[in-house]
Amino acid sequence: MDHGFAHASWEATFAARPFGKYPSEEAVRFFFATRSAVGSAPSALDIGCGAGAVAWFLARNGVRVTAMDGAPSALVQLEATLRDFGCPPVVSLLGDITQPRRHVAGPFDLLVDHYSLYANHQVKLREALEAYRELLAPGGRFLCCLFGTGCTGAEAALRLDANTFTDFPAGVHRNTGIITLWTQEEAENLLRACGFQVLYRERQLHDRNGVLTEKLIFHLAHP
């Protein structure tokens, strides 16, 4: 089985439509909760940066940002977002986010995975987390956002492995390819096994007209 990052499918997704330009509440809260721990002008790696909603926010707040994505069209949107908000320079990289050490050396004071790594087979996801552990500076902080098993469509999706699915018939993951879902306990155990200290965890369950989306949000540290 090919557990690699699906560059082609995400390129098609970003080429088809523009994505949002504003950071989520979880990204904003993470930054303000952790900035005192990493000092002034910290370095950050935005993992799967997409259109740059997190990258521009960090850059405008004095962070030295490297933004990486596997889809060329995402980086085109990133550059447009940075121009729109008049941001300081951001290093943009085209690369496989499941194999970061091929593209960056680190260490970084901040890592941000804003719902990107989940879109891989669980084997690749764990390998990626282990690699990011090595890229996080001592005392650094990591925002890791995953999806939970309570998402609509999970019960009828095609299961590829214990936690990996595809072919969602409904919900926010419909037509998104391979994804990995966890219970909160499973996700926390995984993150600890990869060498992270869990500082904060949050589980959100969104119900939008009967479509459920379960989000698992973790603030992590390099012990």
pLDDT in tens, 8-59: 667 777 667 667 799 999 999 999 999 889 988 999 999 999 999 999 999 9
Q: Is residue 2 part of a domain?
A: no
Q: What is the mean pLDDT of residues 122-128?
A: 97
DSSP state of 25: H
Q: Is residue 128 part of a domain?
A: yes
Q: What is the mean pLDDT of residues 148-170?
A: 96
Residue-range definition of the domain harbouring residue 169: 7-221
The dihedrals phi and psi of 54, each to the nearest 5 degrees, come to -85, -40
Whether residue 154 is predicted with pLDDT greater than 90 in this model: the reply is yes
Q: pLDDT-based confidence at 5, cuts 50/70/90?
A: very low
Please check whether residue 197 is in contact with residue 221, taking contact to mean a CB–CB distance below 8 angstroms: yes
Long-range Cβ contact pairs of 40-44 (< 8 A, separation 24 or more): 42/109, 42/110, 43/107, 43/108, 43/109, 43/110, 43/137, 44/108, 44/109, 44/110, 44/111, 44/112
Q: Is residue 207 part of a domain?
A: yes
Q: Is residue 164 part of a domain?
A: yes
Please check whether residue 119 is in contact with residue 97, taking contact to mean a CB–CB distance below 8 angstroms: no
Q: Is residue 86 part of a domain?
A: yes
Whether residue 1 is predicted with pLDDT greater than 50 in this model: the reply is no
Q: Which of 53, 89, 93, 91 is nearest to 69 (CA)?
A: 93
Residue 50 pLDDT: 94
Tokens encoding 144 = 């890791």
- Poorest-pLDDT segment among 3-7, 101-105, 202-206: 3-7
What CATH number corresponds to the domain at position 165? 3.40.50.150
Q: Which residues pair with 64 in a beta bridge?
A: 43
Q: Is residue 1 part of a domain?
A: no
Residue 18 pLDDT: 67
Q: What is the mean pLDDT of residues 180-202?
A: 98
- pTM for this structure? 0.93
Residue 135 pLDDT: 98
Q: Please tell me the total count of domains within the chain.
A: 1
Whether residue 102 is predicted with pLDDT greater than 70 in this model: the reply is yes
Q: How far apart are CA 34 and CA 43, in angstroms?
A: 13
- Average pLDDT over the chain reads 93
Q: Which of 117, 113, 128, 134 is nearest to 182 (CA)?
A: 117
* Residue type (1 letter), 216: L
Residue 8 pLDDT: 62
